[in-house]
Homo-oligomer: A and B are copies of this chain.
């Protein structure tokens, strides 16, 4: 495959090839090229971490450069991490209420993260709340086909060191470029017994 070095995707297999090579202990000569659109656990863990880092980055951008800069970054984060360009995203944010509980469009997601959208009057901008740290703890994972779903807790720490923990489910779908995109995101505050 003399062209393997000229396509990014080929480099990606190459990397995958060497990892599995270590496990399969095959002679390099016997190593065939692989087209693999399945999801690996490590990709999921990396996508979760990237989501948390992006949220912190939006908070810091808001503090240092203001709402417009934060909104611009939030738009880039949504376009890079979610799958709105692939179809509807099943997004139930932590703090939304009926009749705007579900945000299946990019506009609804952007309004939730940075607020300031007259169409979503109750959104105050979740990503603007001074988040300093995001920690993800998974209780399990379901990997099926080119998709993976995680469930667990996500804990957000703000400037005062106050920690907020939510119950969160994410489903990621791998796109043609090999990138995982969030297509389902259900977040909720823990149930408080009366």
- Interface size in chain A (residues, C-beta < 8 A): 76
Check if A129 is an interface residue, CB within 8 A of chain B. Answer: no
This protein's copies in its complex: 4
Check if A69 is an interface residue, CB within 8 A of chain B. Answer: no
Q: A9-B87, A23-B19 known; A145 and B188 CB under 8 Å? A: no
Check if A88 is an interface residue, CB within 8 A of chain B. Answer: yes
Question: In this complex, which of A35, A105, A153 has the most chain B Cβ atoms within 10 angstroms of its Cβ?
Answer: A35
CB distance from A4 to the nearest CB of B (A): 8
Q: A83-B35, A88-B33 known; A42 and B20 CB under 8 Å? A: yes
Chain A residues engaging chain B, CB cutoff 8 angstroms: 1-3, 7, 9-10, 13, 19-20, 23-24, 26, 30, 32-42, 45, 83, 85-90, 92, 94-98, 101-102, 104-107, 122, 137-147, 149-153, 167, 169, 171, 173, 175-176, 183-184, 186, 188-193
Q: Which of B86, B96, B186 contacts A186 (CB 8 A)?
A: B186
Q: Which of B90, B150, B191 contacts A139 (CB 8 A)?
A: B90
A152 cross-chain contacts in B, Cβ below 8 A: 32, 102
The 9 closest A-B pairs by CB, nearest first: A35-B87, A145-B145, A188-B188, A90-B151, A33-B88, A38-B38, A36-B143, A169-B186, A88-B140
Do A151 and B186 touch across chains, with their CB atoms under 8 A apart?
Answer: yes
